[in-house]
Structure 1
Amino acid sequence: MKPSLLLSPLFVAALAACSTQPPAQTATTTPTTTQPSPGPVLRAAPDQIPTKQGPLTVQPITHGSVVFSWNGKTLYVDPYGGAPAYAGLAAPDIVLITDIHGDHLDEKTLAGLPLDKALFVVPQAVADKLPAQYKAQVRVLANGQQLDLLGLKVAAIPMYNLPETADSRHPKGRGNGYVLELGGKHVYLSGDTEDIAEMRALQNIDVAFVCMNLPYTMDVPQAAQGVLAFQPGIVYPYHYRGQDGLSDVAGFKQTVNAANKKIDVRLRNWYPAAE
């Protein structure tokens, strides 16, 4: 499980290749626990995406957090929003964390989750801040490195703000976007980024999760142009709450599909508690 350096920072351009749905309604899931429940958990209904090794289940949680279930494995991405948001879901085998900010590295949420058997895949900056109890479970990936883990591949790519400045909220090299390869599918998680060259150079991405929230990442037009450059099969706008509220994800869908009707833009409710 030792990371191996890639030959090029744009390694994902060589990834092998492997429909528009209406927004899913918010689902109500009752936590499975023997303790008194605080009430139903509000989550968007999960999606299933076929792969060569069975379905990939996509469960939106909130903001930049999503849970994947595939081939008997469960992956938590940027666990955030409190442990009750994950009630009833399987314990994670892998936890991916993109950056050090509290909406990605949320120690309070981590403390309430069953993580004893989970492997953490994180950039060094996150590893440095994780509580000591998780240190033995950590696998560090830098931009441009990849890892074979529990039957899937995880590759780390840059995520950063433009222009690159010394006081950037997200400087290049600190955080990771990720490309997962599982069951013949390639899944891109943008993390906190703008429409950087490394995003635009992606090829053969089947499913993409793309952020859009000013002033932290990019605006809707930037996100749309970035997606139109690398043309994923399916794209989920996520991480779309900014200083002025929720971004116009419907406008994002309209812009993308006006230029490319083949991209399946899936609008899901990542903020059900805000309704």
Structure 2
Amino acid sequence: MNLLSFLFLVLLGVPVWAQSTAGAAVGAQADVLQTEQGAVYIHPVLHGSLVLQWEGKTIFVDPYGGAALYKAFPAPDLVLITDIHGDHLHPETLQGLDLSRADLIAPLAVMEKLGELTFKGKITLANGEEQAWQQLAVRAMPMYNLPETADSRHPKGRGNGYVLTIGKRRLYISGDTEAIPEMRLLTNIDVAFVCMNLPYTMDVEQAAEGVLAFKPRVVYPYHYRGGGGTFSNVENFKQLVAKDPSIEVRLRQWYPQQ
């Protein structure tokens, strides 16, 4: 979709968000976000894993759960990894993927644990750094536990959340974090993926408070399987966020056993 077509749809009142019915490779759950530089198809996969498709490019975020989950998608052009834990950096899944044309964007801690995994190119980003890739921008965001302690599961500076800017649309991927000040101060986020799983990140109430602070247009609760295989109450999260009717909560099935 070019700029004139995009503006024409807006003037007609046609929503730029919609459930995908065509154009996406796979996925009954796929949603589409229209941008000035073409449609972005959003595919929830598992836990903290998702696939984005845009203008013939495929982006894997924290691919996990086995390569079979990704067979219906084209080989990735870009892989984003947030942290070193096995549900984000999952060597078994990555080894089963065709990474021959994929660039990797990840924090240094992830790069140091890749072992024999190879990518076409590797870009190391620290919190606050930004990198242009193709026609999008990737900004690394802090992700960490509160309070900050020496034995934190997610210390500040090790892992990255990400803000992707595609055709003036901004997508936020929280990674493993709590409702930190850097999250609350985000602006102009069109779609957010926000984690909530105790004891690893934050509870539903804190996640809702964070979302109400930065007011994304659309938010997906994700990464909500906690200790012992329990699941956070995402329906409760949706009710809490409903205090602000300008925010749409989208619930998707991120777990086959749910």
Q: TM-score, normalised by structure 2?
A: 0.88
Whether the 8 Å CA contact 1:238–1:270 is kept in 2: the answer is yes
Q: TM-score, normalised by structure 1?
A: 0.83
Distance 2:120 2:68 in 1: 26
Q: Deviations over 1:113-140 (max 9, x none)?
A: 1111100000000000012342662110
Report the CA distance between 1:86 and its aligned residue: 0.7
Match of 1:86 in 2: 70
Match of 2:51 in 1: 67
Match of 1:49 in 2: 33
Of the three residues 181, 188, 192, the one matched with 1:204 is: 188
Match of 2:8 in 1: none
Of the three residues 186, 196, 201, the one matched with 1:217 is: 201
In structure 2, relative to structure 1, the CA distance for the partners of 1:100 and 1:167 (3 Å cut) is same
In structure 2, relative to structure 1, the CA distance for the partners of 1:252 and 1:133 (3 Å cut) is closer
Letter in 2 for 1:202: L
Length, aligned pairs only: 238
Moved more, 45-54 or 141-150: 45-54
Q: Which fold has the larger relative contact order, with Cα–Cα distance below 8 Å and residues 6 or more apart in sequence?
A: 1
Distance 1:117 1:66 in 2: 19
Letter in 1 for 2:81: I
Alignment of 1:184-203 (within 5 A): 184-203=168-187
Q: In the alignment, is residue 167 of structure 1 matched against residue 119 of structure 2?
A: no
Secondary structure (helix, strand or coil) at the match of 2:35 reads coil
Distance 1:157 1:60 in 2: 21
Whether the 8 Å CA contact 1:99–1:174 is kept in 2: the answer is yes
Alignment of 1:98-109 (within 5 A): 98-109=82-93
Whether the 8 Å CA contact 1:80–1:105 is kept in 2: the answer is yes
Match of 1:143 in 2: 127
Match of 2:137 in 1: 153
Whether the 8 Å CA contact 1:213–1:241 is kept in 2: the answer is yes
Structure 1: tracts of 5 or more residues without a match:
1-18, 31-42
Match of 2:232 in 1: 247
Secondary structure (helix, strand or coil) at the match of 1:208 reads strand
Q: Deviations over 1:206-264 (max 9, x none)?
A: 0000000000000000000000000000000000000151110010000001x101101
Distance 1:126 1:237 in 2: 24
Identity of aligned residues (%): 58
Match of 1:264 in 2: 248
Moved more, 225-234 or 84-93: 84-93
Whether the 8 Å CA contact 2:84–2:109 is kept in 1: the answer is yes
CA RMSD of superposed structures (Å): 2.0
Runs (4 or more) in structure 1 with deviation over 2 Å come to none
Distance 2:161 2:98 in 1: 24
Letter in 1 for 2:111: A
Structure 2: tracts of 5 or more residues without a match:
1-14
Distance 1:83 1:91 in 2: 11
